[in-house]
Chain A
């Protein structure tokens, strides 16, 4: 047991920190803030180009796929540093869908898309959820039917984030209509170009200011080899994609940086009654609770990354990380927000906003993390079954 990075990994962290300090110019920071951490602006794409050219996007990808061939730990370190820097890295494309696409897409699409992903030239939208298929994803209704050499897709997706920047949608469709066949063996994954005829996208505006989308598929035709992996076996891809997504969702890098910023602010800011903000015992208490929770999260994430290098990421552990991390963030934002006082609820554009209004905004965006990426109720079901051998709950 040695819970520390190797000297090489430490060096990588330092290198990345310097790298991102340079990359995150004030102009880029401004663009990112205005896009609510979403990216997609011209400076964002420039930075993505640079990340691709410098070979950072595929740190943990195999060399044969065009990556650097380092382990999941290095990949994890990279994601941690990107998040710490606050760059809106499209990690769902690069960390989560990307590696699965690289393994299962047809040879032609692999050859086309993998270089684009690793070159920082592409963002993908994920089309799973529908108006009436959320947690119960397998009840989705969008269909794909084979006609000659093509698949014809019909249906509507909801919450297709980043679709308005995306060239491709990673789309889940029903492909088996035999009522005898189990739901989890009746869904397939398709790669759908967003410039296809019959595809359309309309914005959904959210509490956190982040734009997401409803996407529509009206007789969208794609060639046969746009099917990813085996027909009807898409749920397997979805499960492994979501498992990987969970790890990136709760990465502690950004939150360590936020904690440190609030700590510095409290140590530097004068109280009108004399002394500094941090001299107040309750402020120290809030920070101590945050710090203690963050430490556990950091270790959970490191342990997962280290398990992944050995090729095993037990389902209950990924779920535990997701539940713990997301519920901790909600608490963290509250504890840190309290320290800033009422100015902590000022919007970033307001006079008097503290720390660029980050906590005001985070409070609003945090509501999705506990149900997004697989709702915490389902994760707890999985922990009870996988980690504690309890019976399957009735649905």
Chain B
């Protein structure tokens, strides 16, 4: 039973924290928010240079060869600074999945360039009212060596900049995993405006051609592979939520020590302290359930229930901490010259992306009913 991090892990965490803290001043973030795309390309380049984008890519793929744990510690720091860098879709949902299931040609073609910060890839895991990439409504039919995909993916981050978009589609009774070229005929991108300002796109596929070289896999193993991808993506979102919620709590506690009313810091009022203490507890619960899921996935262990529970905590903690932080700030919290508003929006984004608490509770409930989720 060891809850501590080894030296490598602590180093990754420290390096990430240093770069991200240096490069995310409020002025800088304000500038980024003025852009059409909320994307800090300069920071992305610095993270690449430091090797962080390739944290969990193998050395052949241009990475550092560390595990999912190291990667999630990096992602937590991204959350802590609500930095405008698409680590989860690019590095986890697309990158790790290609490293796991892609051919060596696909890996070599894409991953070193991604690690170097020269290429964006992404994943389209959501469809309207279907957050589950292992049961997509989109379909693919074989056409010679290629496949033709039809269907609509939504909330696809950075689709317009992506070299390829990882998508899943039904192939008969199986599920296939494909690398869609956003410029291919039959693909139409329409910008969506997301609450967190992450550039999102609706990706409409009408007989969109995926050439043989871009097929990752099709077959009976497709569902399990799609679940593998979904689980890592979900847990990466949880890790980011740990950073967002932990920092929101700290920002709030610090603010209440400064802000005075009735001749004393508002943090001296017991009611204020207790609301903050509840955030502390919520963050602790989120952190522990997330780390457990991270550590199990890192060891490639079965973790269906643990992943569900971590994301349920990510939703609940995100919601409660975000509103408590805003509440305890009074008007300052919503002032766009202050930084808290970004945390609130990212809490919400992470709460809702790839499954809300209610939806996942229902899924966990089914596991319990099936006798698959007894308590230890």
Question: For the complex, is A289 an interface residue (Cβ under 8 Å from B)?
Answer: yes
Interchain nearest-CB distance for B359 vs A (Å): 11
A287 touches B250 (CB 8 A): no
What residues of chain B lie closer than 8 Å to A316, measured between beta carbons? Answer: 280
Is residue B103 contacting chain A, with contact meaning CB distance below 8 A? no
Chain B residues, CB < 8 A from A1:
2-6, 9, 69, 291, 294-295
Per the bound structure, the CA–CA distance linking A317 and B371 in Å amounts to: 33
Interface size class of B (residues with CB under 8 A): 35 or more
Q: Among the interface residues B270, B280, B296, B306, which one has the most CB atoms of the partner chain A within 10 A?
A: B280
Q: Which of A240-290 contact B (CB under 8 A)?
A: 252, 255-257, 259-260, 263, 267, 278-279, 281, 283-285, 287-289
Decide if B291 touches A287 in the complex (CB within 8 Å).
Answer: no
A383 touches B277 (CB 8 A): yes
| Neighbouring A residues of B305 by C-beta, 8 Å | 291
CA of A245 to CA of B329, assembled, Å: 35
CA distance A385 to B276 in the complex (A): 10
Across the interface, which residues of A come within 8 angstroms of B250, CB to CB?
A: 388
How many chain A residues sit at the interface, stated as a range, is 35 or more
CB 8 Å contact bits of A343-361 with B (1 = contact, 0 = none): 0000000000000000000
Q: Are A390 and B268 in contact (CB under 8 A)?
A: yes
For the complex, is B338 an interface residue (Cβ under 8 Å from A)? no
Selected interface stretch from B43-51, B196-204, B236-244, B281-289: B281-289
Interface centre among A3, A295, A320, A393 (most CB of B within 10 A): A295
Q: Of the candidates B6, B268, B274, B288, which one forms a contact with A377 in the assembled complex, judged by CB atoms under 8 Å apart?
A: B274
Cβ of B129 within 8 Å of any chain A Cβ, yes or no, is no
Interface residue A195 (Cβ < 8 Å from any Cβ of B): no
DSSP majority for the A interface? helix
Q: Mark A137-160, 1 if CB is under 8 A from B, else 0.
A: 000000000000000000000000
Q: How far is the CA of A255 from the CA of B9 in the complex (A)?
A: 34
Which residues of chain A come closer than 8 Å to B308, judged between CB atoms?
A: 292
Decide yes or no whether B94 CB sits under 8 A from chain A. Answer: no
B276 touches A388 (CB 8 A): yes
User: Which of A284, A302, A388, A394 is in CB contact (< 8 Å) with B366?
Assistant: A284
- A260 & B291 in contact (Cβ 8 Å cutoff): no
For B1, give its contact among A5, A295, A387, A388 (CB under 8 Å): A5
Given that A1-B5, A5-B1 are known contacts, is A299 also in contact with B268, CB under 8 Å in the complex? no
Interface-central residue, A283, A294, A381, A390, by most chain B CB under 10 Å: A390
Asked if residues A278 and B369 are in contact (CB atoms below 8 Å), the reply is: yes
**Contact of A3 with B2 at beta-carbon distance under 8 Å, contacts A287-B368, A324-B281 already known:** yes
Q: How far is the CA of A207 from the CA of B307 in the complex (A)?
A: 40
Q: Is the CB of B274 within 8 A of A292?
A: no
Known A-B contacts A260-B375, A320-B280, A383-B281; A3 and B369 likewise in contact (beta carbons under 8 Å): no
Contact A289 B375 (CB under 8 A): no
A42 on the B face (CB < 8 A): no
B313 within 8 A of A: yes
Q: Which residues of A have CB within 8 Å of B281? A: 320, 323-324, 383
Instruction: Knowing A259-B375, A287-B365 are in contact, say whether A390-B2 is a contact too (CB < 8 A).
Output: no
Query: Which residues in A have their C-beta under 8 angstroms from that of B309?
Result: 291-292, 295-296
For residue A180, CB closer than 8 A to chain B, the reply is: no
Q: What separation, in Å, do the CA atoms of A206 and B184 have in the docked complex?
A: 74
Give Cα distance in the complex from A9 to B364, angstroms.
Answer: 28
Which of B2, B257, B312, B373 is within 8 Å of A2, CB to CB? B2
Q: Quick check: is A33 within 8 A (CB to CB) of the other chain? A: no
1/0 contact string of B153-195 vs chain A (CB within 8 Å): 0000000000000000000000000000000000000000000
Q: List, in ascending order, chain B residues with CB within 8 A of A377's CB.
A: 270, 274
Are B285 and A300 interface neighbours, CB within 8 A? Answer: yes
Q: Which residue in A288, A379, A391 is a CB contact (below 8 Å) of B257? A: A391
Interface residues of B (CB under 8 A from A): 1-6, 9, 69, 249-250, 253-254, 256-257, 264-265, 267-270, 272-274, 276-278, 280-281, 284-285, 288-289, 291-292, 294-296, 305-306, 308-309, 312-313, 361-362, 364-366, 368-369, 371, 373-376
Chain A contacts to B: CB under 8 angstroms:
1-6, 9, 73, 252, 255-257, 259-260, 263, 267, 278-279, 281, 283-285, 287-289, 291-292, 294-296, 298-300, 302-303, 305-307, 316-317, 320, 323-324, 377, 379-381, 383-385, 387-394
| 16 pairs, A vs B, C-beta closer than 8 Å | A1-B5, A6-B1, A256-B376, A257-B375, A259-B374, A278-B368, A291-B305, A291-B368, A295-B292, A307-B3, A380-B278, A381-B274, A383-B281, A388-B273, A388-B276, A391-B264
Pairs A-B, 6 closest by C-beta atoms: A284-B365, A384-B273, A388-B253, A256-B375, A296-B285, A299-B288
Additional 19 contacts, C-beta under 8 A, given A285-B362, A292-B308, A306-B1: A1-B291, A2-B1, A267-B369, A284-B369, A287-B365, A292-B361, A303-B3, A307-B3, A323-B281, A379-B277, A380-B273, A380-B274, A381-B270, A383-B277, A384-B273, A384-B276, A385-B273, A388-B250, A390-B257
